[in-house]
């Protein structure tokens, strides 16, 4: 009992001592805060004297008294709305204040808080909440959202970073940290232990600078800004062309090495702008990765535009890279045509000014059991000294318009090997038959002929079912 009583008295004594210390600390805090204006007035007076000596500047003070219950306004910043925004300790709780340039004050209660405030790239104000260990966002209209930090972090200074995110110090957490405007927080430990990182700003060099209150250091932080989406290349389909009702493998390279160097987070494909559908990444987290997907069987013979794009970890989306995929039906229709068109000036890329009649004849048809069609194409444009004869066919697609597209290789004037593609319209080109021919990628260099869909003047094109 005697021991217990002694212990109890000791505890009581410690509690009293603790209360007394707390009270002294609060008194000291209040006195310090009361002293701030005196100290500041003194410093301003000194600065004014210096300024006056240097250039005889005149200053005019206009003081705006805050509403009752407000006290100790702290940091102040310019808002995106043309007003000034500030933090303040107050009763019944701390507040974010807004003051117009003519002095109209509005206050927004945030509870026990205290910290810095800055303007974000998203048009909102962002502030640290030291006591609540949160980052707060307030819209110019006063809507507040709060984001929790790990316990023990105690955020202090905050500034807008070069990357469009907000950066802040964690006084007790010994971190600097980033919060995206969507509220995603990443912490970066400060190398010096117990450095008490406090004030932070963006320097004239575009880097972040912060103060280590507990280590007598000023620190520069270089933030690598990644605002570009990854580049997609090597989009390929296997097999190509694809038979109807057959699955195909899609693959592409997604690479962020030259667009910020972040890891690729995801890749997506679309078919004729329908999608996006997510793809598999190998490896799953890397700056350069291979995206793959298995495409569901195509039910309709047609030419499809398959596009792939990637996004990186910071959330940047890259441009689509696309490949045209002919889907053929080996049991579908076939196409025949013969006749004449007028080749317009500009179609013959070797003789651009030459125009005149040209003749064509073709057949393209799948033979049972073969994956590529058999057939023949002849095209003669006498004025351009162009005589094209096909050698082989790669694929034939017949669509319901009705229209047939087929591609293969052949020679110009019996020697120069080129690719060709025919687009043949059976009464479906504004009611006419039409012929469209491209002769490209010639061995002798470049493309040779580029005829847009042109109505047939003699003869016809027939798609046979």
Peptide bond into 72 cis (omega under 30): no
In the complex with Ca ion, which residue's Cβ is closer, 231 or 237? 231
Residue 251 · residue 292 · CB < 8 Å: yes
Peptide bond into 239 cis (omega under 30): yes
d(CA 409, CA 62): 84
- DSSP three-state, residue 245: coil
Q: Is 255 in the site for Ca ion (CB under 5 A)?
A: no
How many Å separate Cα 78 from the centre of its chain?
28
d(CA 303, CA 92): 69
240 phi and psi, to 5 degrees? -140, 110
Question: Which of 17-25, 151-159, 315-323, 379-387 is the region at the interface with Ca ion (rule: CB under 5 A)?
Answer: 315-323
In the complex with Ca ion, which residue's Cβ is closer, 258 or 371? 258
Which x/- pattern, by CB under 5 A, does the window 316-335 give for Ca ion?
A: x-------------------
The size of the chain, in residues, is 465
Q: Are strands 321-328 and 242-243 parallel, antiparallel or unpaired?
A: parallel
Which x/- pattern, by CB under 5 A, does the window 257-286 give for Ca ion?
A: --xx-x------------------------
92 phi and psi, to 5 degrees? -85, -5
In the complex with Ca ion, which residue's Cβ is closer, 321 or 335? 321
Question: Which of 16-24, 157-165, 252-260, 301-309 is the region at the interface with Ca ion (rule: CB under 5 A)?
Answer: 252-260
- The nearest distance, CB 147 to Ca ion, in angstroms, is 24
Residue 127 · residue 119 · CB < 8 Å: no
In the complex with Ca ion, which residue's Cβ is closer, 226 or 423? 226
- DSSP three-state, residue 252: strand
DSSP 318: P
- The nearest distance, CB 254 to Ca ion, in angstroms, is 11
**What are 180's two structure tokens?**
């995206």
* Sole binder of Ca ion in the list 226, 329, 348, 394 (CB under 5 A): 226
In the complex with Ca ion, which residue's Cβ is closer, 256 or 433? 256
Q: Is 312 in the site for Ca ion (CB under 5 A)?
A: yes
- The nearest distance, CB 162 to Ca ion, in angstroms, is 15
In the complex with Ca ion, which residue's Cβ is closer, 155 or 260? 260
User: How many Cα atoms occupy the beta-carbon half-sphere of 88 within 13 Å?
Assistant: 25
Question: Which of 259, 239, 249, 250 lies closest to 308 in space, CA to CA?
Answer: 250
In the complex with Ca ion, which residue's Cβ is closer, 157 or 260? 260
Q: Is 256 in the site for Ca ion (CB under 5 A)?
A: yes
- The nearest distance, CB 231 to Ca ion, in angstroms, is 9
Give me the residue whose beta carbon is nearest to Ca ion.
260
- The nearest distance, CB 221 to Ca ion, in angstroms, is 20
Residues forming the site for Ca ion (CB under 5 A): 226, 228, 256, 259-260, 262, 312, 316
């Amino acid at each position: 009992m005697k021991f217990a009583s002694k212990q109890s008295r000791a505890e009581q004594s410690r509690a009293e001592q603790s209360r007394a210390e707390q009270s002294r600390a609060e008194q000291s805090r209040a006195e310090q805060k009361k002293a701030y204006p005196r100290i500041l007035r003194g410093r301003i007076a000194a600065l004014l004297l210096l300024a006056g000596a240097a250039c005889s500047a005149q200053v005019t003070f206009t003081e705006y008294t805050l509403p009752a219950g407000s006290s100790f306004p702290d940091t102040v910043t310019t808002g995106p709305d043309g007003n000034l925004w500030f933090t303040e300790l107050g009763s019944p709780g701390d507040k974010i204040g807004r003051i117009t340039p003519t002095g109209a004050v509005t206050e927004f209660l945030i509870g026990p808080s205290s910290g810095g405030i800055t303007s974000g790239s998203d048009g909102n104000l962002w502030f640290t909440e030291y006591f609540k260990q949160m980052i707060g966002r307030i819209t110019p209209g006063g809507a507040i959202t709060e984001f929790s930090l790990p316990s023990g972090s105690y955020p202090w200074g905050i500034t807008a970073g070069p990357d469009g995110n907000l950066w802040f110090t964690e006084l007790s957490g010994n971190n600097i940290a980033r919060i995206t405007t969507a509220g995603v927080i990443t912490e970066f430990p400060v190398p010096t232990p117990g450095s008490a990182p406090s004030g932070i700003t963006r320097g004239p060099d575009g880097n972040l600078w912060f103060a280590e209150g507990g280590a007598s250091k000023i620190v520069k932080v270089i933030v690598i800004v990644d605002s570009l989406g990854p580049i997609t290349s090597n989009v390929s389909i296997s097999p190509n062309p694809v038979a109807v009702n057959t699955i195909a493998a899609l693959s592409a390279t997604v690479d962020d090495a030259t667009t910020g160097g972040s890891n690729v987070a995801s890749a997506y494909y679309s078919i004729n702008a329908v999608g996006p559908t997510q793809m598999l990444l190998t490896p799953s987290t890397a700056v350069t990765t291979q995206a793959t997907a298995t495409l569901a069987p195509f039910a309709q013979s047609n030419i499809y535009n398959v596009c792939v794009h990637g996004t990186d970890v910071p959330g940047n989306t890259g441009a689509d890279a696309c490949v045209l995929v002919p889907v053929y039906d080996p049991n579908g229709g076939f196409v025949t045509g013969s006749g004449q068109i007028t080749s317009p000036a500009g179609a013959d890329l070797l003789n651009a000014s030459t125009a005149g009649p040209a003749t064509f004849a073709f057949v393209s048809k799948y033979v049972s059991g073969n994956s590529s069609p058999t057939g023949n194409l002849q095209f003669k444009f006498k004025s351009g000294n162009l005589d094209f004869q096909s050698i082989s066919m790669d694929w034939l697609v017949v669509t319901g318009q009705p229209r047939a597209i087929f591609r293969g290789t052949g020679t110009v004037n019996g020697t120069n090997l080129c690719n060709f593609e025919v687009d043949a319209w059976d009464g479906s080109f504004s009611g006419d038959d039409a012929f469209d021919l491209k002769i490209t990628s010639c061995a002798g260099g470049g493309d040779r002929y580029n005829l847009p869909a042109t109505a047939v003047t003699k003869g016809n094109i027939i798609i046979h079912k």
